[in-house]
Chain A
Amino acid sequence: MGMTMAEKILARAAGRSRVEPGEIVEVAVDLVMTNDITAPLSIAEFKKLGVERVFDPKKVVFVPDHFVPAKDIKAAEQSKIMREFALEQGAIYFEIGRAGIEHVVLPEHGLTRPGMVIIGADSHTCTYGAFNAFATGMGSTDIAAAMATGTTWMRVPPTIKFVYTGKLPPFVTGKDLILYTIGQIGVDGALYACMEFTGPVIDELPMDDRITMANMAIEAGAKTGIFACDEKTHAWLAQVTTEPYEPVESDPDAHYAQVIEFDVSNLRPLVALPHLPSNVRPADEVRDLPIDQVVIGSCTNGRLSDLRIAAEILKGRQVHPRVRCIVIPGSQEVAKQATKEGLVDIFLEAGAVFSVSTCGPCLGGYMGVLAKGERCVSTTNRNFRGRMGHRESEVILASPAVAAASAVLGRVASPFELN
């Protein structure tokens, strides 16, 4: 019997010819990542191991992005612990002003490549599956152990294959595809599993949209989401790295726990209503739901193509008087390019603010925290109770197109509702 992509990567990293779903294997890791929230705990645990140096400083990455530029003294102290450790170890460190949100920055620097095993102390580490890598989030102690040993343990996940067929309608994006998928299978629909995204729609889908989909695999409970490596993947990598890489593909006779097919030709732009990402409805069916804030950005939808869609909708229009619209570039590169292309001017003219690159509001950190009773349409990934602020505030997840249209109309809206 053949193997899936995920099984092939894990087998290779375990030095084995094959692995089976359910078995536990020890694998070598190619990249280990933490951020300003999870690094201090990882570093404290690392020091308890009595190991002096990380296993390979070229494979250990630190990215301050959640609460930076530091939101308060305590956050500044946490970042300082990380910065000092990273510099002392000679590890890869991305300072603000030259970087941005971890899951936007690492792919921009060619650090996430096909065939790699990547682990990060951030649940959205699964983002890198868009590059045909096996990437998954873990806690700080797991990351500490991996920083010391260069290895980790994995239970080989069963793979669920998703096949997307038909033709994507206008304004229906990778965000809508993943929200639709989570809406269909539920927030634990892929618990412990690998989601393999395939089909003619995926073959045509731009890298940015694939990244958005892989990013939210965790929102279905998955260990990771993964895509095949094709011309689009090669084209991205050719721009950013000269490092060699070894893609994997699933065998025709690979075993899947489930194969789920979706014809997406009739899909409309979607939203996920509070308080679960699986609470999905077409945006145009949500009538008269007024909003207070819109956030466009994050590791899910803070890339250049996301800002382009938002700008296309906001151009020549105004953010609704009752709405605060916060646009956050995913990285310094995105910010620079958005400036060059005139997107920033469009946002500012429309009455939006253009922020520094940060995870900030997505997790209710800063830069857009919600008050009691406030409602936000956000291009981020989670709408749990209290996620963006007060426990009686609400988050509605959507694509940049829906978020921008909602900002203009002051309520949850589909881009087709604009004249």
Chain B
Amino acid sequence: MPMRGRVWKFGDNIDTDVIIPARYLVTIDPQELAQHVMEDIDPEFASKVRPGDIIVAGRNFGCGSSREHAPIAIKAAGVQAVVAESFARIFFRNAINIGLPVVEAPEAVRETETGDELEIDTENGIVRNLRTGKTYKATQYDEFIQHIIRAGGLLNAVRERLAARKAAEAGQ
């Protein structure tokens, strides 16, 4: 089922310090973190963003700190997905692990503006800009990563594996 959402566009190298400044890392409560999402790049963002919106950004999105609080804040703010030209690797892992869809589609990013509406089909790797009607290819995930996504995040995938291991041991 493709998702649709309104776009907020950001530039290159959006780091985790501006996504969720360290002064707020004294909690792991998603709602509290969401109140400060993107605060140091756009102090108004947390009050403007609506459930279902999509963040579109340039290269190296999520660079810097390993804080998982960053994708958690984005997801808890109601953002449906992040589309970027490329992602920093720790942020990418964290997003997949907590079930925040992250989509690499460089061409789509370059031709998308704040306020556009995007349609994203993560399963088939397709991004469509509803304003321009143009369709773009997104990078396809490996089977391994798709497995984590299908399981609904890393914890579920690990739980399945632990259960399978237990069952195998019991069967011996």
Contacts and interface: CB of A to CB of B under 8 A. Distances in A.
Nearest to B91: A139
A148 B162 contact: yes
A364 B21 contact: yes
Contacts of B89: 191-192, 221, 223
Contacts of B142: 24
B132 to A, nearest CB: 27
Interface stretch (A44-52, A265-273, A301-309): A44-52
A77 B26 CA distance: 8
Contacts of A141: 68, 94, 97-98, 153-155
Contacts of A41: 28, 68-69
A78 B68 CA distance: 15
B117 to A, nearest CB: 28
Interface residues on A, range: 35 or more
Contact of A365 (B15, B22, B28, B63): B22
B172 interface: no
A51 B159 CA distance: 9
Interface stretch (A203-211, A280-288, A381-389): A381-389
A406 to B, nearest CB: 23
A117 interface: no
Most B CB atoms within 10 A — which of A37, A40, A50? A37
Most A CB atoms within 10 A — which of B28, B40, B66? B66
A18 interface: no
B90 interface: yes
B135 interface: no
Given A67-B26, A188-B60, A385 B41 contact: yes
A125 B66 CA distance: 10
A110 B159 CA distance: 33
Contacts of B49: none
Contacts of A364: 17, 21-23
B18 A138 contact: no
A72 B22 contact: no
A24 B96 CA distance: 15
A142 B155 CA distance: 9
A363 B65 contact: yes
Contacts of A409: none
Contact of B94 (A67, A139, A385): A139
A75 B26 contact: yes
A15 to B, nearest CB: 16
Given A365-B22, A369-B23, 6 more contacts: A51-B162, A121-B66, A138-B94, A141-B98, A221-B88, A391-B18
Name the 10 nearest CB pairs between A and B, nearest first: A74-B26, A139-B94, A139-B68, A386-B40, A363-B22, A188-B60, A123-B66, A141-B97, A137-B66, A391-B40
5 contacts: A67-B25, A121-B68, A137-B90, A145-B158, A191-B60
